[in-house]
Amino acid sequence: MEEANTDVIQGTLDMLILKTLSLGPMHGFGITRRVQQISRGVFKVNPGSLLTALQRLERAGWLDAEWRQTENSRRAKIYTLTRAGRRQLEAETSDWARRASAIARLLKAEA
């Protein structure tokens, strides 16, 4: 049986990260798990892409990063959504909604 594609839809990774972090501060692996759980396994985040995206979003000022102790007493880089990040998330969400509904309309179109 062919394995189902679990790649995150291109261009949506930033939005997924911002949304996941809007639920609370998290480390990289936590984001991976959350995305996988909430999407019920439809999307699996690639660790390399995730860590690169975190770097980019942090530099853009949308996230703050800090090395901290986690609940299982390991050190991890914890990411927190900033105010600018929240605004960006709103912008990306509404843009996504606009485009997704357009795709849905197109797919439903009948001759």
- 66: helix, coil or strand? strand
Size of the site for other proteins (CB under 8 A): 24
CA distance 48 to 38: 20
CB 18 within 8 A of CB 82: no
- Within residues 5-24, the interface with other proteins by CB under 8 A covers none
Distance of CA 4 to the CA centre of its chain: 20
25, 76, 92, 93: which one contacts other proteins (CB under 8 A)? 76
Interface with other proteins includes 29 (CB under 8 A)?
Answer: yes
Q: Rule CB under 8 A: which residues touch other proteins?
A: 27-30, 33, 47-49, 51-52, 55-56, 58-61, 67, 70, 72, 74-77, 84
